[in-house]
Structure 1
Amino acid sequence: MDLFSGKTSYKGWLYSCRGHVGAPACGMNAAVRSFVRNCIYRGDTVLGVHDGMQGLTEGHIEEIKWSDVTGWISQGGAFLGTNRIVPTPETLPLIAEQIRKRNIQALLIIGGYEAFQTVLTLAENREKFKALCIPIMCIPATISNNVPGTDFSLGCDTALNEITEICDRIRQSAQGTKRRVFIVETMGGYCGYLATLAGLAGGADAAYIYEEPATIDDLVQDVKHMASKMATGGISRGLILRNEKANENYNTDFISNLYSEEGKQYFTTRVNVLGHMQQGGSPTPFDRNMGTKMAAKAVEWFIDKLTNEKNFSTPHSAVMLGIVRRQYRFTPIQELKLYTDFKHRIPCQQWWLNIRPLLRILAKHESTWTADEGMTVGVDENIEAIV
């Protein structure tokens, strides 16, 4: 987490605090670099708060200068440190005290679902703690892409590239061998974005996710379909992707055993659990540019709020900065409660579900697909086109 403060060319002093809450994701460092340098360019002083909300609570703060973020744009992970700790009734008074003591006037948090929860908690406790009546923004950053209010999160493109490349290597490793099916488990919690998009990009035969529950009949049908392609279609390698929480009972070992037993006359089966390899690597150009531009937009939003508004207890002063249908959208965080499945930590509507039939069509399954621009949430007047 990092914090910036200092004298500016606008009214008086501008203080802002930004940080990471959740798991590391590629693009976080690029966003920090952009935010820090945009602030310093305007004459502000930037302080860094390490280890997320816990660091803010305990006062782990230090100044960040222009040269301190040199080279960050190409680095994965989170140099400032991050964790999944969110504010609690016990820590909220300490957080409010740090904000009051340091005269912080704006707060930016970069992170995943926990960051969304953090901003929501802070916004809903403004009546109890007046120090929280400041502009607050969340920039989504998680490989799972499970944050409401945005179509894409920082890090999900890099993770998708990593999974696709690994799957390509896995299939290549079986070249020249007898017929073989690979079962690959991806991360993502209850969100099947990575499994679906990696399956589409990698030519998978199936991708099992929580959002579309698969019955035992579906699994058996997929095994028979795979065996048929192996026997008559001239195919020697198969790829099955499974999201880590697709089904509590039909886990990766179960699917592997099912394919091994029912298809033993036609192919062998191998399992690969990718784990935290998906979080590593260098950020893709998409994530680097997205983080850079969103952080710059955040600075502009803070300046506009601090110079043109006085009441920061309204829902429109605590927002999610997302990308929805190729546009920047500032959505009040409290409005997003209506579009969130809190039990499973996913948005109620996800655009990529519309393209899942295409994955089955390309794998020779019977299915239909209709192009759909997808669903959106938020308020139209808070949209800015991406340039």
Structure 2
Amino acid sequence: MESVKIGVLTSGGDAQGMNAIVRAVVRTALHEGARPFAIREGWKGAVEGGDLIQEMSWSDVSDILHRGGTIIGTARSDRFREREGMREAVKNLVSLGIDRLISIGGDGTLTGTDELRAEWPSLLAELVEMGEIEQDTADRHPLLHIAGVVGSIDNDLVGTDMTVGADSALHRIIDAIDAISSTAESHRRSFVIEVMGRHCGYLALMSAIAGGCDYVFVPERPPADGWETDMCRVLKEGRDAGRRDSIIIVAEGATDRNGVAITSERVKAVLEEGLGESARVTMLGHVQRGGSPSAYDRWMPTLLGYSAALELLQSDGDPVIIGTRRNRLVRLPLMSSVENTRAVKKFTAAGDFEAAVAARGSSYTEMLDVFTTLASPVPTKKNGGPRGRIAIVHVGGLAPGMNVAARAAVRFGIDRGYEMVGIEGGLPGLVHGDLVPLSWSDVEAWSGLGGAQLGTRRTIPSVDEFYDMGRVLEDNRIDGLLIIGGLKGYEAAERMREERQRFSAFRIPIMCVPASIDNNLPASELSIGTDTALNTNVEVLNRIKQSASASRRCFVSETMGRNCGYLALMSGIASGAEQIYLSETGITLNQLAKDTDVMVDAFKNGRSLYLVVRNEYASENYTTDFLARIFEEEGGGLFDVRQAVIGHQQQGGNPSPFDRLLAVRLVNAAMRTLDETMSNGRDDCSYVGMAKGSIECHPLSHLEEHWDPATRLPYNQWWLGLQDVAYIVSNPHHHGPAHVLPILEDV
């Protein structure tokens, strides 16, 4: 029986992460016994055929995860828009036996793909009538089966939370904002930064929040008439409040309420006239599309490509887009998703801006409101007087994004009428009375800082020290406590709740916000700091792989994570590791023997690099050093073995855009709940988390419903089901079955 053949193409604008999709499609198809074909240069390759349609082998997609753009090329084809061109594409495909196609691109690409699917039978009939193909060829391929994956840095597809390339583009923008901020502050200068987004303001809005910017223009919500005066007022208030720089973000498709474009040059002219100062313009342009993809744009596109290939092989249903929603993969009806996306443009053209914003989803609406508060140079609400005092403390290991969370808490708190206080040096600082008032301007520069300005400690005070803690809380009139940190913070909150029987000072609302690179906290699928640590790991592993390019070498790399293997598994998927050892699954001697045999065979068959990633708590006895020694011994000189313990680099560096945005969203929900609790005179203890994209607060008394005290892990670790994907797309010797991902949902 002839093998099923799958075509894959990338069309339209390129986006970081497209190569990860292509790699996953090719390798998943090969694993399932199908024959994958790359259609080079997008629809141009389909129309012209010949060498532009090439069968792909396992090695054809090796070493491409870290590369930007698309190795199979992309181009727009005018001929494909004509029926004659579509007919040529059908002839070239069916002549090779290809009737299943994975299309990667934006809404134009997906629309063209669906049109080809709809016209496929009639185009076949025309080709038979013209004598271009035989009738039996047409009979063997009566239908075109398609699956789409959206590659677009604009993140503009309605129905999916994140399109491939958007996270990487945010990284480029935030890098630029962080760099520009330092020179803008040095010269007390205003900068206008133009980012991509013709019809979608995602990049503009999210980069403005993550970058701590002052003003933003997005296509979906044009500013009210008189925006020029309002913008100059906001920036002047900022300067009066002590700000040395001003940064305005403009989406390329931004307009005023009359549909007139708000360009970066127009904004610059308004600033110079209204403030009497010279402004500078930076247009990032195609820099946003370039460069190496982020960690997210490696592991998520891998899952998307894997699922799209299985979709075509295991289903003959309606055309779908494989997208993401609430940290899950989803099947979306192809054309209705495209139509919903295009409806946003119609809403804005008709002046129905609230409908345009609503179509982007509730989180987009939330973040528009959040930006107003965070970017304001002064509190946005006028309150009659202090409503109480809330203290902020970090507890546990350092996590990138702690400063972002603290900054957001201070501003959300002050905006609601509370006095905000920082506890320096973790809970020991509360014992010793190391408290400092935090004003609106004190936290101005914290939006992009790594580390923790307030300091953090893992130490939980002893029983005897709880008396001192209580006295400090009473003496400083603390009415609520926000703990930003890891498991130690949750345990400390639980201890304080228990100590209420002895000390009334602990009868105050306490809220825990998850911040830990280990990603092991209850009711939150992702913790603040985890994404930054993952990006650090992927960068280090890329360099390790490059260092082995001139030799035959196995690397055994160790990641942090304690009992949680999230960092190890996702680092392995994002870097193309052949073997991954997790704490959750452990290591056995029998497994090691099999893995070593596979490794040795790989090197005998020409492999020059083999990457092994080990979670630090994968085994107490089978350490990283022990594994390296076994592989070295069994290799018999066929290859070298090196160790790389990544270590505390994972806790350092400035937080990634995702961690900045996650911190803002979690703290927004935490402070809203804390405010409600205090306003109602209650003393609830709670923790906030994000599960399936929804952010909720849970009573601390329900902790063991979400978290196992024996393993010190959440009961629901959504990512464990991804282990099969890691091996199928990275190891040609893996013979286990490919399963539809357990996290895949129908929408």
Q: Same fold, TM exceeding 0.5?
A: yes
Q: Which amino acid aligns with 1:310?
A: G
Runs of 4+ in 1 over 4 A off after TM superposition: none
> In structure 2, what is the equivalent of residue 346 of structure 1?
713
- Give the deviation of 1:356 after TM superposition: 1.4
> In structure 2, what is the equivalent of residue 293 of structure 1?
665
1:198-217 correspondence runs (5 A): 198-217=571-590
> In structure 2, what is the equivalent of residue 371 of structure 1?
741
Q: In the alignment, is the contact (CA less than 8 A) between 1:224 and 1:263 conserved in 2?
A: no
Q: In the alignment, is the contact (CA less than 8 A) between 1:110 and 1:138 conserved in 2?
A: yes
> Which of the residues 393, 396, 406 maps onto 1:19?
393
Aligned equivalents of 1:311, 1:8: Cα separation in 2: 24
Higher relative contact order (CA 8 A, sep 6+): 1
> Which of the residues 135, 152, 160 maps onto 2:509?
135
Structure 2 portions without partners, runs of 5+ = 1-380
> In structure 2, what is the equivalent of residue 116 of structure 1?
490
1:148-163 correspondence runs (5 A): 148-163=522-537
Question: For 2:455, what is the secondary structure of its paired residue?
Answer: coil
Change (3 A) 1:329 1:10: farther
Aligned equivalents of 1:302, 1:279: Cα separation in 2: 28
1:1-387 correspondence runs (5 A): 9=383, 13-175=387-549, 177-232=550-605, 234-307=606-679, 309-312=680-683, 317-362=684-729, 363-364=731-732, 365-368=734-737, 369-373=739-743
Q: Which amino acid aligns with 1:152?
A: L
- Give the deviation of 1:10 after TM superposition: 7.7
Aligned equivalents of 2:700, 2:415: Cα separation in 1: 29
Partner deviation per Cα, 1:177-231 (whole Å, 9 max, x = no partner): 2311110011111211111110011111111111101211111111111122222
- Give the deviation of 1:12 after TM superposition: 6.6
Aligned equivalents of 2:386, 2:660: Cα separation in 1: 32
Q: In the alignment, is the contact (CA less than 8 A) between 2:669 and 2:696 conserved in 1?
A: no
Q: In the alignment, is the contact (CA less than 8 A) between 1:87 and 1:121 conserved in 2?
A: no
Q: In the alignment, is the contact (CA less than 8 A) between 2:387 and 2:417 conserved in 1?
A: no
- TM-score normalised to the size of structure 1? 0.88
Equivalent pairs, count: 361
Q: Which amino acid aligns with 2:640?
A: T
Partner deviation per Cα, 1:241-277 (whole Å, 9 max, x = no partner): 1111111110011100011111234321111111111
Question: For 1:323, what is the secondary structure of its paired residue?
Answer: strand
Q: Over the residues paired in the alignment, what is the CA RMSD in angstroms?
A: 2.0
Question: For 2:555, what is the secondary structure of its paired residue?
Answer: strand
Q: In the alignment, is the contact (CA less than 8 A) between 1:27 and 1:76 conserved in 2?
A: yes
Bigger Rg over Cα: 2
> In structure 1, what is the equivalent of residue 115 of structure 2?
none
Q: Which amino acid aligns with 2:647?
A: G
Q: In the alignment, is the contact (CA less than 8 A) between 2:392 and 2:420 conserved in 1?
A: no
> In structure 2, what is the equivalent of residue 3 of structure 1?
none
Aligned equivalents of 1:83, 1:115: Cα separation in 2: 10
- Give the deviation of 1:373 after TM superposition: 3.1
Question: For 2:442, what is the secondary structure of its paired residue?
Answer: helix
Aligned equivalents of 1:336, 1:189: Cα separation in 2: 20
- Give the deviation of 1:146 after TM superposition: 1.2
Question: For 1:126, what is the secondary structure of its paired residue?
Answer: helix
- Give the deviation of 1:8 after TM superposition: 8.0
Q: Name the structure with the higher helix share.
A: 2
Aligned equivalents of 2:497, 2:634: Cα separation in 1: 53
Q: In the alignment, is the contact (CA less than 8 A) between 2:388 and 2:419 conserved in 1?
A: no
